[in-house]
Chains A and B, each alone.
Chain A
Amino acid sequence: MAAAVHKLLHPHRSRDQEKEEENERQKSATEHARDEEKHTLAQWGEKKAPLEPGQIDKHPDQKMVGHSSSVLRKDDFELIKTLGTGTFARVWLVRVKNATDGDENQVFALKILRKTDVIRLKQVEHVRNERNVLAAIAGHPFITTMVASFQDHDSLYMLLDYCPGGEVFSYLRRARRFNEPTSQFYAAEIVLILEFLHQREGVAYRDLKPENILIDAEGHLKLVDFGFAKKVENRETYTLCGTPEYLAPEVIRNTGHGTAVDWWAFGILVYEFLVGQPPFWDQNPMKIYEQIVEGRVRFPSAMSAEARDLISGLCTVDTSKRLGNISGGASTVKSHAWFKDIDWDALYHRKVQGPIVPHLRGPADTRNFDEYEPESIHREAYTKDMQEKYEDSFKDF
């Protein structure tokens, strides 16, 4: 039946047939490689051991995670539930299909991007950055691990570890705001992430906000969505991106920006943790931007002096005075009085208990994620023209 439909849909039968035969020949070898790869994935999923910074730096081919897979396919995964949607991507909770014994319970998050949408929304460069950055940093304890990436004719796939705790955003909105110890714990894990991204990888993340921070099964953070992350190293970059309330003044003024934008956004984040909403807001986004470039942060009277001092240091318009960007980098943030109770080494090694450890019924529990609208049936075809023009950009995916 499937073959008959196939025939109807594909009048150029002879060519297809040739292809199929060729496929048959390669199939057994590929099948074997796929099964092996699936088993490896599942094994990684079992342990999820974080790597030391020195191990993360290895080439993706030399560590267990972060490589581009030529054998994995969408069919290898059963799509269970949508975990999140973006303008050109959808993230699914997936289970490994036809897994070997003992591996069938391993779940992952699969981010699926349609090539046509990526092209239409001019995000080709961003998507490439995202994959490459995630590959380079796979293994960090507080960053989503890209286990593997792969692609097919019209889509790109990133297989990520699943964080069953859901978004910090949801907890924050439910709580309205976090108390100081909770804010300090989460903020401190973010500091470790930024320290690593900036000082070890030369990467600016560029979209810090509670929506992009997940809580894993053990109550630690995972930073997700590296769509705007970019290896900037020592050069400034100019493309405006981020989230309105979190944009740094230099991004708005287009004077060139670098990793310092993450320290600005980090200040906004700490403020939002403690207050329940970011410091600069207006219904009219232009008014938000006007407030941001003016940079006058006002604090609720109940906020502690240390917290005010930290936020003022981070949300400093002049990047040459901004905490985190000045001499000493992240260490100036780590040694700030607001973080005086943090044992940074224990924190990196996940030895500090987080304030929320999600209650879960097994590893595939999705109770901490919201319901999303089903995917629209309408899909633009990935045309030959597009393929000719862009396929090369996706070749390493």
Chain B
Amino acid sequence: MSLPPDYSNEISSLSREILTHQPQDVLQFCANFFLRRLESQRAEFLLSHHHSSPKGRGMAETTFPGGNPFGTSPSHTATYMQRLDEEDENDHVASPTAASFFPNSAMDRAQSHPANEDTFGNFAGFGGFGDAFNTRPRPSGAPEPQPFPNNYNLNRRTSVSAESLNPASSDHSDWTPPDHPKSPEQQARLREAVASNFLFSHLDDEQSAQVLGALQEKPIPTKGIKVIQQGDVGDYFYVVEKGSFDIYVNQSGKLEAGPDGQGSRVGSVGPGGSFGELALMYNAPRAATVVSAEASNLWALDRVTFRRILMDSAFQRRRMYEGFLEEVPLLASLTPYERSKIADALETKKFPPGTHIIKEGDVGESFYILESGVAEVYKRGNEKPVHRYGKGDYFGELALLNDAPRAASVVSTTEVKVATLGKNGFQRLLGPVEGIMRRNDPSKLQDADGVDPFTRSS
């Protein structure tokens, strides 16, 4: 007769524990072990039944509304990914950040309500979930609570990835983005069309010009042409210059054969509109089918071009900053890793001609690297500038070290672009500058203290 497997398993984990802990009092240790096991099993049990035992102590808190909404199988994929956005959607989809914990009474109330109307984003497999999280006025009438979204997808989330992008490899090093010619009017129209899109609104002037240049014209000669098909892989983002397009969504998640295969029409998009933007992130299935409603003109941008433009400019900017930083004697002892961290933290600022970037006598807080343009250095008592700065020159770095007043003023002669970092930012990333400089050569600290950066060349 053999011992039950449960028993053997418990005993072997107890033995492991005893080996690890080497207890003095073996009996007490064993008793504690089994008590813990019991507690943990009970917690697990209560956990899976917590909706019926609101006072259950376990790893879960029980003040949260909701029955057991988890009747779904893992074969349900993340279908929430697969739809196109509509203007009025936000009325229904509450911000998930607006979570608020309801008291139990609210939970009961919410559960007693019939299913909510927002069926579009709800999934049959979720059972009572939509009800439980539907938001109703709080009984207390308190001004809060912001609604908990009633349709958060509770399934396993699929990982995503885009094409491998590697700026250092030789095949990309001489890559330049395609530049498709456009009239100034077209340029302006396209610029405006993408201005509100967050993927474009962060771009600097140069990136923006490159991205607009890379947009490629796609004339759509007639009505009824499917530009994108729901369920297909997406590589291009489109901006509508003229004409109009109808948007169809099939609830099955993809275009099907037959006359109604494209599903129902959910909206349309006209001049200045755009669609397919998720394709600029990674290769996700199209969320809708888009069909031309008349002869139209589109401009298209593919993901690899878009992401490469962003990558190349970020890469070049980082390497440029690292190069500049290498030239700063005060920072000579930084490791390449630290330099790259500082380069990442540098903030770009632009100044029009005639701006006092730093003022003699002020308390210094930031240091600056001149990225483009020309600036001049003035010292009190001299009418003429004592020095001129060009690309790659730096100033104000002693501010990282001490609170001494600025030894001179720096005034932009042309429009200038600087990269700047404050003392706080520097210390936050790398700790005190003094410590970094002492690392290699304690005498450097002394030297640096005596150096007036504005008299270097004079």
The chain A residues found within 8 Å of chain B, CB to CB, are 85-87, 122-123, 125-126, 169, 171, 173-179, 181-182, 207, 209, 211, 217-219, 227-228, 233-236, 238-245, 252-256, 275-287, 289-291, 293-294, 296-302, 318-321, 326-328, 350-351, 353, 355-363, 370-373
Contact B9 A126 (CB under 8 A): no
CA of A260 to CA of B57, assembled, Å: 36
CA of A53 to CA of B202, assembled, Å: 41
CA of A362 to CA of B5, assembled, Å: 6
4 A-B pairs with least C-beta separation: A175-B60, A320-B345, A281-B96, A234-B337
Known: A239-B164, A300-B99, A360-B9. 13 other contacts (CB 8 A): A87-B159, A171-B59, A239-B163, A240-B162, A284-B89, A298-B95, A298-B97, A301-B100, A301-B144, A357-B41, A361-B5, A371-B74, A372-B75
Chain A contact residues: helix, strand, loop or mixed = loop
Cβ contacts B325-367/A at 8 Å (1 or 0 each): 0000000000111001100110000000000000000000000
Partner among B20, B199, B314, B336 whose Cβ is within 8 Å of the Cβ of A256: B314
Partner among B43, B277, B345 whose Cβ is within 8 Å of the Cβ of A356: B43
Q: How far is the CB of B23 from chain A (nearest CB, A)?
A: 12
**Contact A178:B163 (CB < 8 A) given known A256-B311, A275-B99, A351-B21:** no
Contact A178 B59 (CB under 8 A): yes
Contact B40 A255 (CB under 8 A): no
B242 at the interface (CB under 8 A from A): no
Q: Which residue of B lies closest to A277 (CB)?
A: B152
Q: How far is the CB of A205 from chain B (nearest CB, A)?
A: 12
Q: How far is the CB of B359 from chain A (nearest CB, A)?
A: 26
Could you list 26 examples of A-B contacts with CB < 8 Å?
A: A123-B161, A125-B164, A126-B161, A175-B50, A211-B156, A240-B165, A241-B161, A256-B314, A276-B99, A278-B96, A283-B83, A283-B93, A286-B85, A290-B198, A298-B98, A301-B100, A302-B101, A321-B428, A327-B427, A327-B429, A350-B20, A351-B21, A355-B43, A359-B44, A371-B73, A372-B74
CA of A282 to CA of B152, assembled, Å: 8
B37 at the interface (CB under 8 A from A): yes
Question: Which residues in B have their C-beta under 8 angstroms from that of A361?
Answer: 5-6, 9
Contact B202 A179 (CB under 8 A): no
Question: Which residues in B have their C-beta under 8 angstroms from that of A355?
Answer: 40, 43, 58-59
Contact B160 A236 (CB under 8 A): no
B228 at the interface (CB under 8 A from A): no
Cβ contacts B32-66/A at 8 Å (1 or 0 each): 00001100110110011010000000111101101
Contact B160 A356 (CB under 8 A): no
Contact B99 A235 (CB under 8 A): no
B166 at the interface (CB under 8 A from A): yes
Q: Which positions 278-337 of chain B face chain A at CB distance < 8 Å?
A: 278, 281-282, 284, 287, 307, 310-311, 314-315, 318, 335-337
Cβ contacts B132-170/A at 8 Å (1 or 0 each): 000000000000111001011010111111111111100
Partner among B48, B98, B160 whose Cβ is within 8 Å of the Cβ of A174: B48
Q: Which residue of B lies closest to A218 (CB)?
A: B13
CA of A328 to CA of B431, assembled, Å: 8
Partner among B6, B74, B99, B337 whose Cβ is within 8 Å of the Cβ of A370: B74
**Contact A238:B166 (CB < 8 A) given known A174-B47, A256-B311, A326-B428:** yes
Question: Which residues in A have their C-beta under 8 angstroms from that of B344?
Answer: 236, 256, 319-320
CA of A198 to CA of B241, assembled, Å: 47
Contact B164 A122 (CB under 8 A): yes
Question: Which residues in A have their C-beta under 8 angstroms from that of B74?
Answer: 85, 370-372
Q: Which residue of A lies closest to B37 (CB)?
A: A357
**Contact A281:B281 (CB < 8 A) given known A239-B165, A253-B202, A296-B97:** no
Partner among B13, B41, B60 whose Cβ is within 8 Å of the Cβ of A176: B60
Partner among A218, A286, A291 whose Cβ is within 8 Å of the Cβ of B97: A291
Question: Which residues in B have their C-beta under 8 angstroms from that of A181?
Answer: 59
**Contact A283:B13 (CB < 8 A) given known A176-B64, A240-B161:** no
Question: Which residues in A have their C-beta under 8 angstroms from that of B68?
Answer: 174
Question: Which residues in B have their C-beta under 8 angstroms from that of A327?
Answer: 427-431
Question: Which residues in A have their C-beta under 8 angstroms from that of B427?
Answer: 327
Q: How far is the CB of A322 from chain B (nearest CB, A)?
A: 10
Q: How far is the CB of A181 from chain B (nearest CB, A)?
A: 8
Q: How far is the CB of B112 from chain A (nearest CB, A)?
A: 19
Q: How far is the CB of A395 from chain B (nearest CB, A)?
A: 19
Contact A245 B157 (CB under 8 A): yes
**Interface size, B (range):** 35 or more
Most buried by A among B6, B99, B163: B99
Partner among A86, A283, A289, A320 whose Cβ is within 8 Å of the Cβ of B80: A283
**Contact A177:B60 (CB < 8 A) given known A300-B101, A350-B20, A362-B8:** yes
CA of A174 to CA of B411, assembled, Å: 63
B425 at the interface (CB under 8 A from A): yes
Question: Which residues in A have their C-beta under 8 angstroms from that of B336?
Answer: 234
Contact A241 B428 (CB under 8 A): no
Contact A256 B97 (CB under 8 A): no
Question: Which residues in A have their C-beta under 8 angstroms from that of B284?
Answer: 285
Question: Which residues in B have their C-beta under 8 angstroms from that of A281?
Answer: 96-97, 149, 152
Question: Which residues in B have their C-beta under 8 angstroms from that of A373?
Answer: 75
Cβ contacts B234-261/A at 8 Å (1 or 0 each): 0000000000000000000000000000
B175 at the interface (CB under 8 A from A): no
B81 at the interface (CB under 8 A from A): yes
CA of A227 to CA of B159, assembled, Å: 10
Question: Which residues in B have their C-beta under 8 angstroms from that of A298?
Answer: 95, 97-99, 146
Question: Which residues in A have their C-beta under 8 angstroms from that of B158?
Answer: 87, 243
B127 at the interface (CB under 8 A from A): no
Partner among B9, B89, B157, B431 whose Cβ is within 8 Å of the Cβ of A243: B157
Question: Which residues in A have their C-beta under 8 angstroms from that of B144?
Answer: 301
Question: Which residues in A have their C-beta under 8 angstroms from that of B121?
Answer: 283
CA of A297 to CA of B99, assembled, Å: 11
CA of A213 to CA of B429, assembled, Å: 30
CA of A174 to CA of B68, assembled, Å: 7
Contact A241 B97 (CB under 8 A): no
CA of A239 to CA of B162, assembled, Å: 6
Contact B160 A320 (CB under 8 A): no
Q: How far is the CB of A308 from chain B (nearest CB, A)?
A: 12
CA of A396 to CA of B339, assembled, Å: 34
Question: Which residues in B have their C-beta under 8 angstroms from that of A254?
Answer: 165, 307, 310-311, 314
Cβ contacts B86-104/A at 8 Å (1 or 0 each): 0001000101111111000
Question: Which residues in B have their C-beta under 8 angstroms from that of A207?
Answer: 159
CA of A231 to CA of B2, assembled, Å: 49
**Contact A277:B6 (CB < 8 A) given known A175-B47, A359-B41:** no
CA of A232 to CA of B146, assembled, Å: 41
Contact A320 B5 (CB under 8 A): no
Q: Which residue of A lies closest to B51 (CB)?
A: A176
**Contact A217:B164 (CB < 8 A) given known A169-B156, A284-B83, A286-B85:** no
Q: Which residue of B lies closest to A363 (CB)?
A: B9
Partner among A171, A275, A294, A353 whose Cβ is within 8 Å of the Cβ of B47: A171
Q: How far is the CB of A278 from chain B (nearest CB, A)?
A: 7
Partner among A85, A282, A301, A357 whose Cβ is within 8 Å of the Cβ of B101: A301
CA of A123 to CA of B159, assembled, Å: 12
Contact B311 A219 (CB under 8 A): no
CA of A167 to CA of B270, assembled, Å: 46
CA of A128 to CA of B162, assembled, Å: 17
Contact A285 B278 (CB under 8 A): yes
